[in-house]
Structure 1
Amino acid sequence: MTKGFFVVGTDTGVGKTVVTAGLVGALRAKGVNAVPFKPVQSGAVKGRYGLIPLDVEFYKKVCDLPPDEYNTYALEAPLAPSLAAEISRVTIERDIILKNYAALAGKYELIVVEGAGGLYVPLSGTSFLLPDLIKALNLPLIIVARANLGTINHTVLTVKCAQELGLVIKGIIYNGYNADSATLAEKTNPKIIEQITGVPTLGVIPKGRDIVVDAGKAGNCLELIENHVNFSLLLN
């Protein structure tokens, strides 16, 4: 049976794509036949043969991936998926996403699925939300959070909401930590959140170098994840 994780953020731009790509790349380097999956990509850009999902392009920069379908819906407008789909006159369908996921699950050992924005993101109107997809895939969450001031509230709310929904949380990864300029809040936030929620910290990722997802610049993404994520805890 294929294992997997669903990566969500405490908000938009927190580093889900960097974490997803880095996790897959690191797992593949360890001999795990892992792949990423981005069900819905908003803010895709026009290419010669159609819209290009930039997150998937970033995966390819970081990971040694075989050719495959790693994205179901690519939407041009950089908006919540439901609105971006409405503007494009596209209907995001749960069954099509599940079919694409099943196709990957038939070929790979582990799938890291990346969500869109935070936890409560609408995929189709207000009747099909991201938690509905997570439940359908039956995957544990990896929550990507910031380490800076304010993250206690954002992260604890995300954890508590996920737990109320009956979702399983594997752990939290804090992204963009700068040890050279870290405040006392940044240094202590992960421990405080772990004490409040009981959810373990899977890693504290330092600020990256030359990483620009939209420009396809991988920088030291893989190195950061390999060196700062507790893979024993993740895979246990």
Structure 2
Amino acid sequence: MTILVITGTGTEVGKTIVTAAVAAAAAAAGSSVAVLKPAQTGVRPHERGDADEVARLAGAVTTLELARYPEPLAPATAARRAGLASVRPCEVADAAAKLATEHDLVLVEGAGGLLVRFDDEGGTLADAARLLNAPVLVVASAGLGTLNTTELTARELRRRGLDFAGVVIGSWPNEPDLASRCNLADLPVVAEAPLLGAVPEGTGAIEPADFRAWAPSWLAPRLGGTWDAVAFSAGCAP
């Protein structure tokens, strides 16, 4: 797996923290890692973006941002309102492919969900993943409502013939409710894909050194970690 595309079932589900965890686990195993953020929205020129946050947490990773827009909107809308050029899927694919010639792993972190538009022609992260022929990791929330959004995302991935790597819960609650605990069993069923990790709530606020040390324990072996879905689910069984 040279390139991994990371999307979410929506906004604020923990994509950036999961991206940082995957990057940290890979770096700890000795891999060179690059993180590509095609379109950063809601951040002004001199403010820190998602790629910067990944680097802060994960350590020595290469970061690249293709476009930045000041308003917190879908990239196509934000670009239009700012009078700036939008990002096209072919540009995302070209940038990721170039990074892949120089790094062991390239992580492409999308904005929002799979079908959020990059441009006014309807280009999306899904289109970039198709051009790259890269697997897609879906970051989902833990609680009520996640089964619907995860299944919809999974169906769209399959409809497009994309490689669905699996699901990671982006923010596992410190005190999970009944829905969250039941979803550990139900998410792989509705997604028809494995559960590949659960990142604890609030991990973005811990010290970077601790984040890097613990990151592998939040991710399954396919993502370079030691997390075991069966054991974790059994420990949280309702």
Q: Bin the TM-score by the shorter chain.
A: 0.7 to 0.9
Calculate the TM-score normalised by the size of structure 1.
0.86
TM-superposed deviation, 1:157: 1.2
Distance 2:40 2:109 in 1: 9
Aligned to 1:227: 217
Superposition CA RMSD, Å: 2.3
1:157 corresponds to 2:152 = yes
2:9–2:114 Cα contact (<8 Å) kept: yes
Distance 2:159 2:8 in 1: 17
Gaps of 5+ in 1: none
Encode CA deviations 1:47-79: one digit per residue, 9 max, x unaligned. 2xxxx451121022112225x551111111111
Partner-residue secondary structure (3-state), 2:111: coil
TM-superposed deviation, 1:80: 0.3
Quick one: percent identity of the two aligned structures?
A: 28
The 5-angstrom pairing of residues 1-236 of structure 1 reads 3-47=2-46, 52=47, 54-65=49-60, 68=62, 70-91=64-85, 92-179=87-174, 181-209=175-203, 211=205, 221-230=211-220, 232-234=221-223
1:208–1:219 Cα contact (<8 Å) kept: no
TM-superposed deviation, 1:100: 2.2
Distance 1:120 1:174 in 2: 19
Gaps of 5+ in 2: 226-238
1:148–1:185 Cα contact (<8 Å) kept: yes
TM-superposed deviation, 1:171: 0.7
Distance 1:115 1:88 in 2: 20
Given residue 13 of structure 1, which amino acid in structure 2 is its aligned partner? Answer: E
Number of aligned residue pairs: 224
Given residue 126 of structure 2, which amino acid in structure 1 is its aligned partner? Answer: P
TM-superposed deviation, 1:222: 3.5
Q: Quickly say closer, same or farther: Cα 1:197–1:103, change in 2 above 3 A.
A: closer
Partner-residue secondary structure (3-state), 1:123: coil
